[in-house]
Structure 1
Amino acid sequence: MANTPQPLTTGEPEAVVEVDAGAAKHSEPSLWGLEPYQWVSISMLVLILIALFGAKVHKTIAGGLDGKIAAIKEQLDEAKQLRAEAEALRDEYAAKIASAEKDAEAMLENAQHEADALLVKAEEDSKAMVERRKRMAEDKIAAAEREAVEDVRNRAVTAATQASRKLIAEKHDAEADRALADKVIAGI
């Protein structure tokens, strides 16, 4: 049979066993000189060995996994504890913030009352100061008026004195003075 396909081979040529199946020939593949049933037997033996010795490996792997599980549980418990502490701190700080906000509101309200009181006091003080300055101005005006009146009186007296001197000097002579002096002396 010239047209029969040949199996692909890599490396060494394989031994081929021909079986007579009547009119056609059938060849069985082999690898490294072992027949397929021998490969199946070797595979079963390896599987059984893995099952026997793998139990110990399984126990070791299971023990390692149990240890990791215990460590993870411990970490989870620690995380729960940390979370509880964090929540307690959060609640504590929330209470502090609320207290601080209340204190700030009270301080703001107190400051507003103080500012209102200062404003009222400043208004009263400014009114009192305006009233004092008004009185001082009125007193200065009154003093200036008194001074002006006094000055006018003094000028009037001075003018009257000068006018009377002039009149007396013009109308009275030495004899009129003597007669006037005699009259005053007689009246005493």
Structure 2
Amino acid sequence: MADILNLLATGADGYAEPAALGLDSYQWVALAMSVLIAVFVWKKVPGMITGGLDSRIADIRAQLDEAKALRAEAEALRAEYAAKIAASEKDAEAMLAGAREEADAILAKAEADSEVMVARRQRMAEDKIAAAERAAIAEVKSRAVTAAAAASRKLIAERHDSAADRKLADEVIGSL
């Protein structure tokens, strides 16, 4: 029996376990962890962590709302330019119809000269329509590119400054 008590007091390997104030090492570790947890609760560390996470969630929601607004604005611009293109096509059709009516009137007025005159007028009208269509399409493309570039520049400038890069790097390092 004395051998068992001696073995328990000295440990399995024959060496004495450290003890102070009547507490063994595992009891000191438990006491230290209890004190550490109590300090964390007293200093409101869990509240600070959840507050930081809540603020980050709010920031992300704000960014998502802003992205939705930008998308809606871009879709509105797209719809506006689609309407302009449709109006340009209707104008082109109206111009073509007008040119054809004018050509028919010239045909009725002068039969001898009519074939040359009609061909020349119709070619001029089609060239004018094609030029107007090219100009309208070029203007729509130019405005769309300008709007997309401005929106992209704004988004990149707002979201990728040096502070955001440092914060992202700190988060990545912290997660490792």
Give the TM-score band, short-chain normalised.
0.3 to 0.5
Higher-Rg member (1/2): 1
TM-score by length of 2: 0.45
Of Structure 1 and Structure 2, which has the larger fraction of its residues in helix? Answer: 2
Query: What is the TM-score normalised by the length of structure 1?
Result: 0.43
Q: Which has the higher contact order (CA 8 A, sep 6+)?
A: 2
